[in-house]
Amino acid sequence: MRRLRIGLIGAGTIAQSAHLPAFRRLAGELELVAIADVRAEVAADAARRFGAEAWYVDYRELLSRPDIDLVDICTPEFLHGEQAVAAAEAGKHVLCEKPMASTLQEADAMIAAARRNGVKLMIGHSRRFTRRYQEVARLIQEGVIGEVRLVRENERRPRAMYGRLELPVSHWVPEGERPWLASAAYSQGAALTNAVHETDLARWFTGQEANQFAAGSLMRSPTYARLAQLQARAVDPVQRRYVEAMQIALSEELPTLPLYYRRFYWIYDSRK
């Protein structure tokens, strides 16, 4: 069977820590053909280290290659819609990092482009492939856990996870708007960028979609003043109410302890 030929767009942290090493481990099934990144030195270095035959600064050059079957999009979320639609229009299957897009309109456009061009579109909701969560889903499906009434998740992330300035710096945005995660022009905040994992798990475990939304934010450190303003718009903590009083409540914090990272998950069912 012919190996699936991959082109990767965005050679930043998530690409080099997860996607590219995975492609290397699956070398018998996949072939990394090309990498695109707005930083030429990053694209060239990643291509050299992970065995891609070509690299580009303009991702459209990568999409023009007829020998690429699937495009892996690892850029910041505000670029997903444009790049995924372009990839689908070029006849490429698309694997896109979470979150899917910045707006519902962009997400709908991605789906429409994939259907129109007969290609597959997959969003990287990686926790569905984690054994612990697969076991929870199995217990729910088999009735070992009763009807799910409440899903609650609490996650605390260390400031160190967000880089030296506590937030990732992306060269895909103008210098004055960096770090992009704290820029209202480019980011929808932690509820979309990070908590999308928990929202997806709640959808999976309950089999239902959210129909009411509430959000709030409490940020104590002046270091995060820009982020706090953004979080209040959409974010943190996030409560999403489901039909029949189902609810997911998520609290994602940036504590002062530099190496503190904990995740807690509770599922409340209908059993008495």
- 140-192: per-residue pLDDT in tens? 999 898 888 777 776 665 544 443 334 444 554 555 545 566 666 777 766 67
For residue 157, what pLDDT is reported?
56
Position 253 pLDDT exceeds 80: no
Higher pLDDT, 118 or 76: 118
Q: Tokens in use for 118?
A: 């007969």
CATH 3.40.50.720 fits 4-124, yes or no: yes
Q: Which CATH number fits domain 136-269: 3.40.50.720, 1.10.3720.10, 3.30.360.10, 3.60.40.10?
A: 3.30.360.10
In the chain, what are the domain boundaries?
4-124, 136-269
The sheet with strand 238-242 has its strands ordered as 212-215, 238-242, 246-253, 148-156, 262-269
Look over the chain and give the mean of its residue pLDDT values, rounded to a whole number. Answer: 78
Residue with tokens 């504590």: 255
- Does residue 252 contact residue 155 with C-beta atoms inside 8 Å? yes
Least confident of 8-17, 175-184, 190-199: 175-184
For 16, counting Cβ atoms within 10 Å of its Cβ (0-12 exposed, 13-18 middle, 19+ buried), the class is middle
Q: Tokens in use for 217?
A: 């934010």
**98 noted as active-site residue:** yes
Residue with tokens 């999308």: 196
131-141 vs 196-206: helix axis angle to the nearest 10?
30
Cα separation, 208 vs 202, in Å, equals: 8
Position 24 pLDDT exceeds 70: yes
* Among 92, 98, 120, 272, the one annotated catalytic: 98
Least confident of 90-94, 135-139, 189-193, 250-254: 250-254
Backbone angles phi, psi at 202, to 5 degrees: -65, -40
For residue 134, what pLDDT is reported?
96
